[in-house]
Homo-oligomer: A and B are copies of this chain.
Amino acid sequence: MFEVLFQKLDEKIKLTEEERQLCKSFFTPKKLRKRQYILQEGDVCKYIAFVEKGMLRSYTIDDKDSEHIIQFAFEGWWISDHFSFLTGEPAVYTIDALEDSELLLLSRQAEEQLLQKIPKFEKYFRILLQNSLIATQRRLIGSLSQTAEERYNDLITGCPTIPQRVPQHMMASFLGITPETLSRIRRQVASTR
């Protein structure tokens, strides 16, 4: 159950066997069925979640009832509503599973203790945050300066397996375009090679 987590941790910080065992005790395993929520807009986000298996997404719903996907989270990724988790304010994002999934949950209290017992995690979480910020800034610049087709190509290049796992209309939502437009872009791209 902890294979993917430890593999990911190994890339950034080195843990002793003892620390690993200790570390395990702070996480709560949880299985999710496809379409099941772990967070709904308006609730307080009690956990940050590490994806051991499966796949989730976070999204908002605007006043015109359309969804905007903030993030997909595959195996090895973290997902949560940071702001709600940190402040205890109601969440603005909804998070649900796109496939049957296995998660490792970390509560606020568990996080605090983890940081206290194994301070290396300070560094680990800082790196995570920084990477999220950098990725989000990139996406922002893209959405301000690129065409839908360019953004689609970048997405596919960065994550070639995504079309096999995510319905097309959700990729459209992630890219900030309509499903119709994405369909036309794909036809266009396919015919040009």
Contacts and interface: CB of A to CB of B under 8 A. Distances in A.
Contact of A129 (B60, B68, B126): B126
A28 interface: no
B68 A141 contact: yes
Contacts of A133: 82, 129, 132-133, 136
B145 A176 contact: yes
Contacts of A70: 137, 140-141
B145 A66 contact: yes
A2 interface: no
Contacts of A125: 126
Q: Which of A129, A136, A137 has the largest number of chain B CB atoms within 10 A?
A: A137
Interface residues of A, number: 26
A60 B141 contact: yes
Given A66-B145, A68-B141, A139-B140, 11 more contacts: A70-B140, A82-B130, A83-B130, A122-B122, A125-B126, A126-B126, A126-B129, A129-B129, A132-B133, A133-B133, A136-B137
Contacts of A134: 82-83
A68 B140 CA distance: 10
Contacts of A140: 70, 136, 139-140, 143
A112 B114 CA distance: 22
Contact of A62 (B122, B143, B145, B175): B145
A151 to B, nearest CB: 10
Nearest to A123: B122
Interface string A95-136: 000000000000000000000000000100110011011101
Contacts of A130: 82-83, 86, 129
A137 B68 CA distance: 11
A108 to B, nearest CB: 14
